[in-house]
Amino acid sequence: MSNTEKVMWLLKRLGEAPYELGVTELADEIGYEKSGVFKTLKLLVQGGFVVQNQSTKKYSVGPALYRLGTVYGERKVILQVAEPVLKAMSYMTEETVSIGIREGDDAILAYKIEGPISIRLENRIGRMYPLNAGAIGKLLGAYHNEERIREILSQTELTKNTQNTIVDQEELLLEYEIIRSRGYAISDEENREGSFGISAPIYDQNGDVWSCLCLAGPKERFTKKKVDNWIGLVINGANEISLKLGYNPN
Amino acid sequence: MSNTEKVMWLLKRLGEAPYELGVTELADEIGYEKSGVFKTLKLLVQGGFVVQNQSTKKYSVGPALYRLGTVYGERKVILQVAEPVLKAMSYMTEETVSIGIREGDDAILAYKIEGPISIRLENRIGRMYPLNAGAIGKLLGAYHNEERIREILSQTELTKNTQNTIVDQEELLLEYEIIRSRGYAISDEENREGSFGISAPIYDQNGDVWSCLCLAGPKERFTKKKVDNWIGLVINGANEISLKLGYNPN
DNA sequence: AACAGCGTTTCCTAGTGGGAAACAAAGGAG
DNA sequence: CTCCTTTGTTTCCCACTAGGAAACGCTGTT
């Protein structure tokens, strides 16, 4: 058994145990000498993966695992809930549908389902967008804390990716207001020439917006007629996900 | 950096990353060759601590962490919430106050605060009790699924620790009913000669009882007058914890 | 007071994880 | 469409880390 497996075994064993376990019983069960088990446990305690009860000297799972578990839970919930919606929309529109998440002061493409027409728009999962350009970035910016937005804008120089990228601070804040009042954002070649996108906010159970649903593709396929239809589709899809996440619109 | 530290670093990095990370970027950041990082990641994937996106080949936190995180969360919440209550009760009664948790078909002493009068009753943290004897065991038995209780009783031979230990099945089920109707359990030398205990149920936010509050000590200190007072104290303490856990009594 | 059991420390050495390089596969550039 | 870069994966060998054994200090029991 490698050390990595040993670490996993220890953590799992501590997790399924009723409460606390000592070095000796862990070593006996895993079949190692307690010296080695102790060394590993000490490191795990330092890293917060395990806590040691100072009075009993026994070990249990630690707060670092809680944090990581929460991360997994959040990701799983939103993707699991969102996937059927994305699939349906992708099928109906034949375009790429994606989920964007705000991570700190940036927007990130967290998940996407490609449309059947495979003209690549090279938006890879994990790609980061600024909050001033593109359907995902602008929407998540619009629903971000305005004070924080002003801070960001005053500190960073907005780069003009295309002719349509908004770089003026006041113009951007106005655009944010429009987005909030309409309930959706539109990007017309703001991040990249030839691309078009529509996005709508996803509300979590606290009513906060930290992710959004986005429909995007080559501009030539986004005719006015289609866009008029698709805006409702995106808003409805985002609402559906919001409700499934436990959002209560009041 | 030892392998254990590497594992922890990788997990934490994957947790704080916006979404997914690849072998190369992880190896670059941690300063190791990607071959070693890859080997470790492969093992972590096998153990469920990490998941690999099959289409992007990139890595993220896995379901095993979710399970462990949940365990930590549950334990932390109940202990954190319960500790002040236990301290106050221990201070008022000068006896030992403890939290029992049902783990499968047994009761376990999860946490305790010793009274100042240190006559040892050797109930160590982690000790297991049967569901038929003692204030903790009986209470958690009484609020357990009755079908399951009947199964257990039919399969296991109840051992008579003291004269007062209930070993007859029907007598025990009757005692359970009394406990549920009164809302507390009393043990008079059931597990050990000379010990006395009072316990009351703790309800979680779903209204389920899987833990209880228990006040225990040497029998000679549990006079009738004191017990009459302390029953209310235990019930109130347990209620307080239940409410803090999010229980809604309707 | 002696003992037994636990967590902890130390030391040495065998086995394992790290480094380097090469392979496979996928994407981007032209 | 093809070349080229980049990334995930595999292989091999060696340094060094993790495991074994024994001993220490401490707590609690008899």
User: Is B4's CB within 8 Å of A63's CB?
Assistant: no
Q: Which residue of A has its CA nearest to B9?
A: A47
| Residue range A60-86: mean pLDDT, rounded | 88
Residue B119: what pLDDT? Answer: 53
Would you say A37 and A50 are in contact if contact means Cβ atoms under 8 Å apart? no
Beta bridge pairs of residue A45? none
SS3 A197: strand
> Which nucleotide has the shortest C1'-to-CA distance from B4?
D18
- Residue B210 clears pLDDT 80, i.e. is over it: yes
- If you average pLDDT over residues B181-204, what whole number do you get? 92
Q: Is A132 on the interface with B (CB under 8 A)?
A: no
Name which of A77-81, A169-173, A195-199, B8-12 the model is least confident about.
Answer: A77-81
- Provide the shortest C-alpha distance from residue B226 to chain A (in Å): 30
Q: How confident is the model at residue B158 (pLDDT cuts 50, 70, 90)?
A: confident
d(CA A216, CA A135): 8
Chain A residues within 8 A of B73 when measuring between CB atoms: 66, 69
Q: Which CA-bearing residue is nearest the C1' of C19?
A: B33
Rounded Cα distance, A43 and B234, in Å: 40
Indicate the range of A124-133, A201-210, B200-209 predicted with least confidence. Answer: A124-133
| Section A5-14 average pLDDT | 93
> Dihedral angle at the C-alpha atoms of A27, A33, A36, A39, nearest 10 degrees?
60
Average pLDDT value for residue range A54-71: 88
Residue nearest to nucleotide C6 (CA to C1'): A24
CB B125 within 8 A of CB A20: yes
Give B-chain residues touching A106 at CB under 8 angstroms: 18
| Residue A119 confidence (pLDDT) above 70 | no
Q: Is the pLDDT of residue B32 over 70?
A: yes
Residue A96 in 3-state DSSP? strand
- On whether any CB of chain A is under 8 Å from the CB of B87, the answer is no
- pLDDT at position A140 is 94
Q: Which residue is nearest to nucleotide D16 (CA to C1')?
A: B2
Per DSSP, the residues of A90-116 read HHHH-SEEEEEEEETTEEEEEEEE--S
Q: Greater confidence, A43 or B31?
A: A43
Q: Which nucleotides of C are covered by protein (CB under 7 A)?
A: 5-11, 16-21, 27-28
The pLDDT-based confidence of B109 (bands split at 50, 70, 90) is: confident
Inform me whether the C-beta atom of residue A72 falls under 8 Å from chain B C-beta atoms.
Answer: yes
| Residue A222 neighbours by CB under 8 Å, 6+ apart | A196, A230
CB B138 within 8 A of CB B179: yes
What integer pLDDT is reported at residue A17 of this predicted model? Answer: 78
3-state helix, strand, coil in chain A (%, to 5): 50, 20, 30
User: For A120-170, how does the pLDDT look when each residue is reduced to its tens digit (9 = 90+)?
Assistant: 455 666 677 888 888 999 999 999 988 888 888 888 777 777 778 888 888
A35 touches strand D (CB under 7 A): yes
pTM across the whole model? 0.75
Sequence-ordered list of residues with C-beta below 8 angstroms from that of B136, at least 6 positions apart, any chain? B98, B100, B107, B109, B129, B197, B199, B212, B214
Mutual angle of helices B3-16 and B34-46, in 10-degree steps? 80
Number of residues that this document lists for chain A: 250
Q: What's the token pair of residue B203? A: 């309800």
pLDDT band, residue A43 (cuts 50/70/90): very high
The CA distance from B174 to the nearest CA of chain A, in Å, is 28
Query: From CA A208, how far away is CA A230, in angstroms rounded?
Result: 24
Q: Identify the pLDDT of residue B144.
A: 93
pLDDT band at B162 (very low <50, low <70, confident <90, very high): confident
Query: Which of A2, A56, A128 shows the shortest C-beta gap to B43?
Result: A2
Across all residues in chain B, what is the average pLDDT?
A: 88
Q: Considering only CB atoms, which chain B residues are within 8 Å of A18?
A: 101, 103, 106, 108, 110, 126, 128
Q: Would you call B75 and A61 a contact, using CB atoms and an 8 Å cutoff?
A: yes
**Tokens linked to A219:** 């501009």
pLDDT above 70 for A25: yes
The Cα A131–Cα B39 span in angstroms is 37
What's the pLDDT band for B201 if we cut at 50, 70, 90? Answer: very high
* Neighboring chain B residues of A42 at a CB cutoff of 8 Å: none
Average pLDDT over residues A227-235: 95
Report CA torsion sign: B27, B30, B32, B35: negative
Residue B59: which pLDDT band, with cuts at 50, 70 and 90? very high
- What is the pLDDT confidence band of residue A118, given thresholds at 50, 70 and 90? low
Per DSSP, the three-state class of A144 is coil
The reported pLDDT for the residue numbered B48 is 92
**Rounded Cα gap, residues A3 and B65, in angstroms:** 18
Rounded CA-CA distance A135/A96 in Å is 13
Is residue B241 predicted with pLDDT exceeding 70?
Answer: yes
In a mutational test of the B interface, the residue from A11, A72, A122 whose CB has the highest number of chain B CBs within 10 Å is A72
Nearest residue on chain B to A126, alpha-carbon basis: B19
Question: Hey, is B217 helix, strand or coil?
Answer: strand
Q: Stated in angstroms, how far is B9 CA from D16 C1'? A: 20
Of A112-116, A192-196, B69-73, B215-219, where does mean pLDDT reach its minimum? A112-116
Q: What percent of chain A shows pLDDT beyond 70?
A: 95
How many other C-beta atoms lie within 10 A of the C-beta of residue A6? 18
Compute the radius of gyration of chain A from its Cα atoms: 24
**What gap in Å lies between CA B199 and CA B97, rounded to an integer?**
10
CA gap B19, A126 in Å, rounded = 6
What does the alpha-carbon distance between residue B130 and residue B152 come to, in Å, rounded to a whole number?
Answer: 11
Can you give the distance from the CA of residue B181 to the C1' of nucleotide C9 in angstroms? 55
- Residue B135's identity, in one-letter code, is A
Tell me the range of A32-41, B105-114, B160-169 where mean pLDDT is highest: A32-41
Report pLDDT for A125.
67
Tens of pLDDT along B121-140? 556 666 778 899 899 999 99
